[in-house]
Structure 1
Amino acid sequence: MELIEALRTTGAVREFTDEEVDDDVLHRVLDNARFAPSGGNAQSWRVVVVRDLGLRAQLRDLYLRGWYDYLAMAKAGLRPWAPTNDPEAEKIALAAFPGIAAESAANPGMAEHLDRAPVVLALFADMSLLAATDRDLGRYGVVGGASIYPFAWNVLLAGREEGLGGVITTMATREEAAVKTLLGAQDPLALAAVIALGYPVRQPRRLRRATVDAFTTVDRVDGAPFRASG
């Protein structure tokens, strides 16, 4: 697949066929993904291929706790866990957790079936290797992710070349301590994401995104929108 086509059509895939993903295919995906950039070329990622059915079921259950919180906040009109959220508004929204959980259990989706995904990867970041230049700014840190999430995205792109689809999800990080215990991860490893991969039920199509001039300006944030000369 050509690069531009892959960039424009690689979206989140949450429904997979029952076809197994061969180990050689998954190895090629990871072998190609490893060329992602990272600060100082530290390559701070560590990947666990979760195969054991018992571990998968426990990981799914840990994942669901965060997922139902996410749904409860979204239903209340909040952007889940946005650093600017009003804590009291989140508290009120989360009171709906039991009802949300019951509704979702009655209409299960990928979250409830995470353990059945053909491939489940737990992606950890070695915090001792992250050049987090915004560490001391007194705000929510984002820079360290630049050394780990390009690898996660490369997994999806490399998977697309193999006919796979997948999704990068951070929901299980809400239960990071339990996940680390489950998968034998020690400090300074931090859970960055869980990635599900498989052969998609439906092939991805072109995605819809905001146009360049909607998020790009000239010289200043409040400057003129940047547009092509033509």
Structure 2
Amino acid sequence: MELTEAMRTVGTCRYFETTPVPDDVLHQAFDVARFGPQGGNRQPVRWIVVRDAARKQALADLYLPMWKAYLAAVGAGTVNVGALPKTVQDADHFAEHLAQVPAIVVACAEIDGLHPTDTELDRVSVVGGASIYPTVQNFCLALRDQGVGSAVTTLLCHHEPAVSELLDIPAGVLTAAHIAIGYPAKGFPRKLTRSPVEDIVAAETFGRPYFTTAAV
């Protein structure tokens, strides 16, 4: 598959077939993913593939109450997700059926391999993720290239102690994302809705548009 097409159609898959994803497909995806950019080539990312029905159910049992609370807040208007009702409906279906996906891949990272430089700023720290999430995106793109869908969620990171106990994750290793994977039941998106380049790229200073007309 051509790279640009994969990037434009990887999307978030919320409806999965029950067909297992073969180990050789996973191996190929992990093999490609490991070349994601990372600070100092420390290679902090580690993966856990969860196929066992009981473990998937345990993860789903942690996930669903958090999602339902979030969904209730959306319904009450206290949280504005800016998403279409259909998207919220799809996300609810995903949450209700998380235990049935073929596999849940847990993206972990060795904390000693991260070097966040923003921990003293008066805001949430995000820099450490720069050595993690490019590798996660590589994984999703490599799956897309092989016809496998994925859905990345960070909601379960709230329950990291429980997840660590369930999956025997040692001290010094954090959870960065949980990725549901499987063959898509409804195919891949043909067109994803994203903000135009003109709205998100600035020239020299924030808020000064770099592009004033759409590129041909």
| TM-score, normalised via structure 1 length | 0.83
Which of 200, 224, 229 pairs up with 2:184?
200
In the alignment, the residues of structure 1 paired with residue 130 and residue 73 of structure 2 have an alpha-carbon distance, to the nearest angstrom, of: 27
Amino acid in structure 1 at the alignment position of 2:79: L
Amino-acid identity (%): 41
In the alignment, the residues of structure 1 paired with residue 59 and residue 215 of structure 2 have an alpha-carbon distance, to the nearest angstrom, of: 50
In the alignment, the residues of structure 2 paired with residue 73 and residue 174 of structure 1 have an alpha-carbon distance, to the nearest angstrom, of: 17
- The ranges of structure 1 where at least 4 consecutive aligned residues each deviate by more than 3 angstroms after the TM superposition are 227-230
In the alignment, the residues of structure 1 paired with residue 65 and residue 169 of structure 2 have an alpha-carbon distance, to the nearest angstrom, of: 20
Q: Which residue number corresponds to residue 210 of structure 1? A: 195
> Does the 8 Å contact 1:66/1:175 carry over to 2?
no
Q: Which residue number corresponds to residue 186 of structure 1? A: 170
Where in structure 2 are the equivalents of 1:1-230 lying within 5 Å? 1-75=1-75, 76-79=77-80, 109-204=93-188, 205-227=190-212
Q: Which residue number corresponds to residue 85 of structure 2? A: none
Q: How many residues align?
A: 205
With over 3 angstroms needed to count, the CA separation of the structure-2 counterparts of 1:201 and 1:137, relative to structure 1, is: same
1:14-40 Cα shifts (integer Å, max 9, x gaps)? 111122111111111111111111111
With over 3 angstroms needed to count, the CA separation of the structure-2 counterparts of 1:186 and 1:65, relative to structure 1, is: farther
> Does the 8 Å contact 1:168/1:193 carry over to 2?
yes
In the alignment, the residues of structure 1 paired with residue 80 and residue 158 of structure 2 have an alpha-carbon distance, to the nearest angstrom, of: 16
Superposition deviation, residue 11 in structure 1: 0.2
> Does the 8 Å contact 2:51/2:102 carry over to 1?
no
Structure 2, unmatched stretches of 5+, are 82-88
Amino acid in structure 2 at the alignment position of 1:203: G
> Does the 8 Å contact 1:159/1:165 carry over to 2?
yes
Q: Report the aligned-residue RMSD.
A: 2.0
Superposition deviation, residue 206 in structure 1: 2.1
Superposition deviation, residue 171 in structure 1: 1.1
Amino acid in structure 1 at the alignment position of 2:125: G
Amino acid in structure 2 at the alignment position of 1:183: L
Superposition deviation, residue 224 in structure 1: 3.3
Amino acid in structure 2 at the alignment position of 1:70: Y
Superposition deviation, residue 77 in structure 1: 3.7
Structure 1, unmatched stretches of 5+, are 81-103
Superposition deviation, residue 116 in structure 1: 1.2
> Does the 8 Å contact 1:10/1:160 carry over to 2?
yes
With over 3 angstroms needed to count, the CA separation of the structure-2 counterparts of 1:61 and 1:148, relative to structure 1, is: same
With over 3 angstroms needed to count, the CA separation of the structure-2 counterparts of 1:65 and 1:142, relative to structure 1, is: same
| TM-score, normalised via structure 2 length | 0.88
> Does the 8 Å contact 1:127/1:188 carry over to 2?
yes
> Does the 8 Å contact 2:13/2:150 carry over to 1?
yes
